[in-house]
Amino acid sequence: MNILFELSKEHPTLPQNEIFACLTAEDISYIINETNNDILNISTNTDIDLVKNIVSRLSHTFYVDELFFSCSNSIDEIKKNAKKYFIDLPGSIAIRYKNTSKNKNSQEIIKIIQEIYTRNKKVNLTDPDNEIRVFITDLKVYVGKKIIVIDRSQYEKRKVQFRPYFSPISLHPKIARALVNLSCVKKNETLLDPFCGTGGILLEAGLIGAKVIGSDIEEKMIYGSKETLDFYKLKNYQLFCSDIGDIKKHINYVDAIVTDLPYGKATTTKGEDMNKLYTRTFEVLPEILKEKKKAVIGISDKKWATKLYTHLKLMSIHEFRAHKSLTRYFIVFEKQP
Ligand SMILES: C[S@@+](CC[C@H](N)C(=O)[O-])C[C@H]1O[C@@H](n2cnc3c(N)ncnc32)[C@H](O)[C@@H]1O
């Protein structure tokens, strides 16, 4: 089966990478057929319901479809492929389309798909049994059947200003979820954020069923995180106040670490020099992470990504321009034996 991910294009590397991480977390094997800013097209033999379950945790994808075919924008090609790959779907049909291209033929393209797929079929635009998606991009046209639409409005609703505890240091929930996904954490595995602040990362990890552990040097942040996790009725959590250097006193090994390190100004280091704090952090994190598991760490200076660490292997770097004077880098490491 070919699966098409319609990507949000909000970031050049995150949408694809969070998908790869979620599939890897569940041991789903796949082949990448094609990818660009608009789409990711993969082949897999995995059961569709399992795929549906896994991809529902994504944050930077709009739709996931079972892809029937893709071809160039030429009308002749589309006609030929639509006939060749036609599937007689049981039940009612709705055709929906998205056009991100400057293609002037879009109405004609839709008409072709409509004629083929709705012939002798009941059309139901409000609650169809099958939703055929026609995605027209500058380069190609993709036609398939919707498997799932990602509920992205949930991330806006969970922004820190709508949560019980507010601080401007919190990441947008969509970014926090993408970082959790990059960590490859599975349901019921343990994820640690040792600089948890308002608990934004813990919240996103808790909502996908991970057991979460959060700590912070500031007591008020621990109370704030507790308020937030309780507000969202999460039960499987552990919170404590601790300096990063003392974290080993509180916990054993964890399956994933996702954290956003202080970057000065808005976030306190309690007066500690940033270089010293980062050095201490990179020493202690590998000591509490299980082998072959991932740490996703937000830093403000790229030099911390390219240093050589004894037990951490650099896997990928994702750059964010928060604003003019602040660029953040989210780095994925894997714990080495
Ligand atoms: C960038 S903020 C984390 C924001 C968080 N991701 C959120 O969503 O709210 C960094 C946090 O590190 C904490 N912190 C600073 N120095 C620390 C230390 N030595 N040990 C543990 N936490 C520390 C700060 O109190 C702050 O809450």
Separation between Cα atoms, residue 109 and residue 334, nearest integer Å: 45
Please check whether residues 103 and 91 belong to one and the same domain.
yes
Per-residue confidence (pLDDT) for residue 110, from 0 to 100: 92
- Interval 207-234: pLDDT, tens: 999 999 999 999 999 999 999 999 999 9
Query: Quick one: 188 exposed, middle or buried, by C-beta within 10 A (0-12, 13-18, 19+)?
Result: exposed
Domain boundary among 119, 149, 179: 149
Atom of ligand 1 nearest to the CA of 193: 6
Cα distances from 230 to residues 165, 172, 173, 180, 240, in angstroms, run 11, 19, 17, 19, 15
> What is the CA(199)–ligand 1 centre distance, in A?
10
Please check whether residues 232 and 320 belong to one and the same domain.
yes
Domain boundary among 149, 182, 216: 149
Sign of the CA dihedral running 102, 104, 107, 111: negative
Atom of ligand 1 nearest to the CA of 171: 8
Give the structural domain span for 134: 2-149
CATH of the domain at 300: 3.40.50.150
Q: Is 229 helix (H, G, I), strand (E, B) or coil?
A: helix
Q: Is 83 left (phi over 0), alpha (psi -120 to 50) or beta?
A: alpha
Contact assessment for residue 123 and residue 93, using Cβ atoms and an 8 Å cutoff: yes
Please check whether residues 46 and 194 belong to one and the same domain.
no
What is the count of structural domains for the chain?
2
Nearest CA to ligand 1 atom 5: 197
Please check whether residues 197 and 325 belong to one and the same domain.
yes
Please check whether residues 69 and 36 belong to one and the same domain.
yes
Listed as ranges, residues in the chain with pLDDT below 70 are 264-266
The crossing angle, in degrees rounded to 10, of helices 200-207 and 173-182 is 60
Domain boundary among 130, 149, 168: 149
Please check whether residues 210 and 99 belong to one and the same domain.
no
Q: Which of 192, 244, 267 to mutate to test the pocket of ligand 1 (most atoms within 8 A of CB)?
A: 267
Please check whether residues 35 and 182 belong to one and the same domain.
no
Q: Is 315 helix (H, G, I), strand (E, B) or coil?
A: strand
Please check whether residues 119 and 170 belong to one and the same domain.
no
CATH of the domain at 142: 3.30.2130.30
Looking from the CA of 13 toward its CB, the CA atoms found within 13 Å total: 12
Q: Which of 158, 217, 248, 279 to mutate to test the pocket of ligand 1 (most atoms within 8 A of CB)?
A: 217
Separation between Cα atoms, residue 85 and residue 202, nearest integer Å: 44
- Interval 80-117: pLDDT, tens: 999 999 999 999 999 999 998 887 788 899 999 999 99
Please check whether residues 114 and 139 belong to one and the same domain.
yes
Query: Quick one: 56 exposed, middle or buried, by C-beta within 10 A (0-12, 13-18, 19+)?
Result: middle
Per-residue confidence (pLDDT) for residue 265, from 0 to 100: 65
Please check whether residues 164 and 310 belong to one and the same domain.
yes
